[in-house]
Structure 1
């Protein structure tokens, strides 16, 4: 590495979509603002349901709350700046703030990946070892496991920042992305980035594929256990308890795996299309996860129906009075 700790770049500029015409800046910022609003309202609503209904204080929902918090925090650390970039033409971000955002982006990504693996383990034990479920996965044990997920997601994310920040940044300062991440920042370094990007890529693969391996293992045994159930109704009922998680897992992992495979097999995309794909798999799951859990989970549906009936009775009484 040349240049040591000498850094001439003091600020970065977040470009967003490089091919976007200025005439569409207002539209894009409005769409992103609506997406952010949907994420806050949807996940906030689920947090409120969880806080006010003791029937949801079960291990499965406790794990999901961890995912909710990760989704909201990820969106909060990325969307406001890119919205400001297009709405207020303010795309400048300080050197320190950019690296802090990079840390948060990768940290919350790891938390989500680990949490989805824990969700798969939860369903595996529930289906394959139902009599031991409440012993192995009590609320206390799930709380401890969730804390461990948030704690053990720190070290490697910190390592990425520690390794990338001392690189000499002495040329271009434009980040062709909607937020600061390891790849978009280290591309701007005035040195060979291979020694720094390779460990980060290996780390990303270990986290992504390691979590995916746990999920595939869990659901393979779940499917085998379901197929052993004699009645079709029993099979459907058992597997329906996993359907919401399967949808969430598919939304999170499939587009990411596609993107990583495309990049590393020589398949090239237009820069705007690649950024759009990244933003889609980063923001679509946080936006629709609460809807999936509300529509695909019996306990949540019952609570929503109960609340709607309550509101209808209250409205009827108000009209009559």
Structure 2
């Protein structure tokens, strides 16, 4: 470990997409602004419905509530700076603020993986052990699991920042990424970073793949349980209760696993394409998830419909 911080850099500049022509800056800023706007509006609608409708005060919706809060905060940590970079060329970020952003990016990324694990656990118990669901998956259980997830996410994020912050940074202050993540920042260190990157990569894989392994196991068990249901209507009804969560989980894990597998089998991407894929799987779910809650979850859809009718009558 490097002792102290002997960096000659006091601030960084977020490049974003290095191969993008400046004439497209306004387009990128507008797209990011719209993504942020719709993410805020969609998640705020769910928050309002949850607060005002006691029918939604159930374990499954408490899990969604945690995901909503995490999505809003993650988007607020990343998107405003990207928008400022492309609309106003204000890409400069202080040394300390960059590492603070790194902490929250990895914190919320890890937290979301474990929230999706809790979501899969909820459906696993509901389908495979329906008689025990009300005693096992209580609001208190969800709270305890959420706190445990925060502890894991905090530990991982602190490890990433504590290992990266003391490195001497003197190569460049240009971050080839749309925000300060561990890989893009440590690439600017003027030492051999392999001893720092490999352990962080291994731990990141453990944090990502451990929830994914349980999620795969739980949905395999759910599929087996569904096929044991005698009636076709019963099977479809059971699957319909799982489909929103399964879509959300797929949006989070499938692109990440694709990037990891592609890099390990020798598939290479251009820098701009790699950043675009990362941005897609990082920032699209916060915008899309509210549509899934509201359009594919029966009770949320009913609550939204009642709210809309009440507003129209007023």
> TM-score per shorter chain, which class?
over 0.9
Aligned residues: 314
Q: Which residue of 2 aligns with 1:285?
A: 285
- The Cα of 1:266 is off from its aligned counterpart by 2.2
Q: Which residue of 1 aligns with 2:164?
A: 164
Runs (5+) with no aligned partner, structure 2: none
Please give the secondary structure, in 2, of the residue aligned with 1:19.
coil
- The Cα of 1:153 is off from its aligned counterpart by 1.2
- The Cα of 1:151 is off from its aligned counterpart by 2.4
Give the superposed CA RMSD.
1.3
Matches within 5 A, 1:151-300: 151-300=151-300
Q: Which residue of 2 aligns with 1:31?
A: 31
Q: Partners in 2 of 1:285 and 1:2 — Cα distance?
A: 37
CA contact (8 A) 2:128 2:221 kept: yes
- Segment drifting more, 149-158 vs 67-76: 149-158
Kindly provide the CA deviation profile for residues 271-321 of structure 1, in whole angstroms up to 9, marking residues without a partner as x.
11111110000111110101011111110111122223333434xxxxxxx
Q: Which residue of 2 aligns with 1:6?
A: 6
- The Cα of 1:58 is off from its aligned counterpart by 0.3
- Segment drifting more, 19-28 vs 2-11: 2-11
- The Cα of 1:111 is off from its aligned counterpart by 0.3
Runs (5+) with no aligned partner, structure 1: 315-321
Q: Partners in 1 of 2:309 and 2:191 — Cα distance?
A: 64
Q: Partners in 2 of 1:84 and 1:143 — Cα distance?
A: 36
Q: Which residue of 2 aligns with 1:319?
A: none
Matches within 5 A, 1:140-159: 140-159=140-159
Q: Partners in 2 of 1:57 and 1:124 — Cα distance?
A: 20
Structure possessing the higher radius of gyration over alpha carbons? 1
Kindly provide the CA deviation profile for residues 126-159 of structure 1, in whole angstroms up to 9, marking residues without a partner as x.
0011111111111122122212212221011101
TM-score (norm 2): 0.97
Q: Partners in 2 of 1:6 and 1:18 — Cα distance?
A: 27
TM-score (norm 1): 0.95
- The Cα of 1:99 is off from its aligned counterpart by 0.7
Q: Partners in 1 of 2:152 and 2:48 — Cα distance?
A: 27
